């Protein structure tokens, strides 16, 4: 009996020691809790905001796996799922699909694009459409923006199948009156008919024009008329419009563009750019640097001492031209101060090419993860002569394991 008691006591001590060692390991490892989490971020989606009754539309939603668990496609545990909205009692089946299976296994940091069709309802109205990753019935990660989709009948007098999707634009947000600036607007033909060049027939009269919600906004004159197409844009194709505008008299203006056929707007207009125009004697001419963060691709999970490629883009939203000898990318802290010694073994990143106002600089470079596991901040900004300017990139917390 004594021997059995001693054995039980010794076994209990062993279990306690093992549990205690596991607890210490979890405390030493800042990734311990993070490793059990599913996480994701939305990279892109192409959901139109105006649909025609009963029409089919192809959606592309790209998600990145930011967790540490591989999303398996061998069963239905991981999928892209429609998020039910309280303002839409029919959300579960209004689009004809409520979930989309993974096309393949998605490991941590990898991306996946879901391609599927939705069908617009047969009743006109405003409907919610929002998606996110889910495991079983539990959603996780970053969902797509809450999109309120307007579904209506055919109100076009020329072509019932016209539609356009806004993709990107580059418009300087600070201008000097009378000066010219480069503007770029990219739209995709996600309708059923080709956008034909202007001909004597009104059916081919497709063009890009400034978009105004009311007639009172028809002024000022930006020094450019409608941009007619020089060649057809087939369904599914994208068109990049690049042109110059002349800044109007000083003031603050909303600048927005849309595709038209004849005298009818259709599809998504571009995003609204709030443009501030000043006179030639304004202080903006003395301090004309400005930048706008565009996007970045940075792994948020790294392993110690490993090299990783990253990419960060900034748009020149000021009035000065960025040149290689004066402008560069720099790591900054939370107060936007340059960090000369950072944990990423990377100094200043040189400008890849000369960037005029309205242009976008894409910085592609390698970083080396620190040698100690922990959480580290990653934030960069444009700089001239040791002075950061414009908007910095969002501060990322990188987990190094």
42-57 pLDDT tens trace? 887 777 767 777 777 7
3-class SS of residue 333: coil
Tell me the C-alpha distance between 303 and 8, whole Å. Answer: 42
- DSSP annotation of 202 reads G
Average pLDDT over residues 123-131: 77
- Answer with the residue of higher pLDDT: 17 or 42: 42
pLDDT reported for residue 12? 54
pLDDT of 27 above 50? no
Compute the distance between CA of residue 343 and CA of residue 373 in angstroms, rounded to an integer.
12
Share of the chain above pLDDT 90, in %: 11
For residue 134, pLDDT over 80 is answered with yes
Q: Tell me, what's the pLDDT at 183?
A: 86
- Report the pLDDT averaged over residues 239-252: 83
DSSP structure class, residue 204: G
Mean pLDDT of all residues in 108-131? 82
β-pair partners for 376: 398
Length of the chain as a residue count: 401
Tell me what pLDDT residue 71 has. Answer: 92
pTM as predicted: 0.37
Whether 279 and 253 have beta carbons less than 8 Å apart is answered as: no
Is 284 or 228 the better-scoring residue by pLDDT?
228
In angstroms, rounded to a whole number, what is the distance separating the alpha carbons of residues 363 and 312? 5
Average pLDDT for the chain: 76
Higher model confidence: residue 158 or residue 48?
48
Say what the pLDDT of residue 42 is: 84
Checking if the pLDDT of 294 tops 80, the result is: yes
Alpha-carbon gap, residue 289 to 269, rounded angstroms: 28
- Cβ atoms of residues 112 and 133 within 8 Å: no
pLDDT(388) > 50: yes
pLDDT digits over 311-342, tens only?
A: 999 998 888 889 988 899 999 887 677 876 78
The answer to whether residue 8 scores a pLDDT higher than 70 is no
User: Residue range 168-187: average pLDDT?
Assistant: 83
């Amino acid at each position: 009996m004594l021997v059995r008691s001693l054995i039980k006591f010794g076994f209990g001590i062993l279990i306690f020691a093992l549990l205690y060692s596991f607890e210490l390991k979890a405390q030493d490892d800042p990734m311990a809790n993070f490793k059990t989490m599913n996480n994701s971020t939305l990279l892109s989606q192409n959901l139109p905001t105006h649909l025609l009754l009963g029409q089919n539309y192809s959606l592309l939603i790209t998600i990145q796996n930011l967790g540490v668990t591989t999303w398996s496609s061998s069963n239905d545990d991981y999928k892209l799922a429609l998020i039910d909205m309280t303002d839409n009692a029919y959300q579960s089946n209004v689009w004809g699909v409520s979930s989309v299976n993974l096309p393949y296994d998605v490991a941590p940091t990898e991306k996946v694009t879901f391609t599927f069709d939705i069908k617009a309802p047969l009743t006109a109205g405003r409907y919610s459409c929002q998606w996110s990753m889910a495991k079983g019935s539990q959603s996780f990660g970053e969902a797509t923006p809450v999109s309120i989709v307007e579904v209506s009948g055919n109100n076009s007098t020329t072509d019932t199948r016209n539609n356009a999707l806004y993709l990107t634009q580059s418009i300087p947000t600070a201008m000097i009156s009378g000066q010219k600036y480069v503007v770029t607007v990219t739209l995709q033909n996600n309708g059923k008919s080709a956008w034909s060049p202007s001909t004597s027939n009104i059916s081919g009269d497709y063009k890009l024009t400034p978009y105004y919600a009311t007639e009172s906004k028809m002024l000022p004159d930006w020094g450019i008329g409608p941009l007619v197409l020089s060649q057809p844009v087939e369904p599914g194709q994208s068109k990049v419009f690049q042109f110059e505008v002349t800044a109007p008299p000083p003031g603050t203006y909303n600048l927005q563009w849309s595709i038209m056929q004849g005298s009818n707007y259709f599809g998504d207009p571009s995003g609204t750019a709030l443009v501030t125009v000043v006179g030639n004697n304004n202080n903006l001419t003395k301090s004309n640097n400005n930048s706008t963060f565009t996007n970045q691709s940075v792994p948020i999970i790294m392993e110690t001492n490993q090299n990783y490629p990253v990419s960060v883009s900034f748009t020149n939203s000021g009035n000065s031209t960025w040149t290689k000898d004066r402008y560069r990318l720099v790591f900054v802290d939370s107060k936007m101060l340059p960090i000369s010694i950072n944990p990423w073994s990377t100094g200043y990143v040189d400008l890849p090419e000369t960037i005029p106002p309205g242009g976008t600089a894409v910085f592609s470079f390698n970083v080396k993860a620190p040698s100690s596991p922990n959480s580290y901040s990653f934030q960069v900004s444009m700089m001239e002569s040791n002075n950061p300017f414009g908007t910095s990139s969002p501060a990322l917390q990188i987990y190094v394991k």
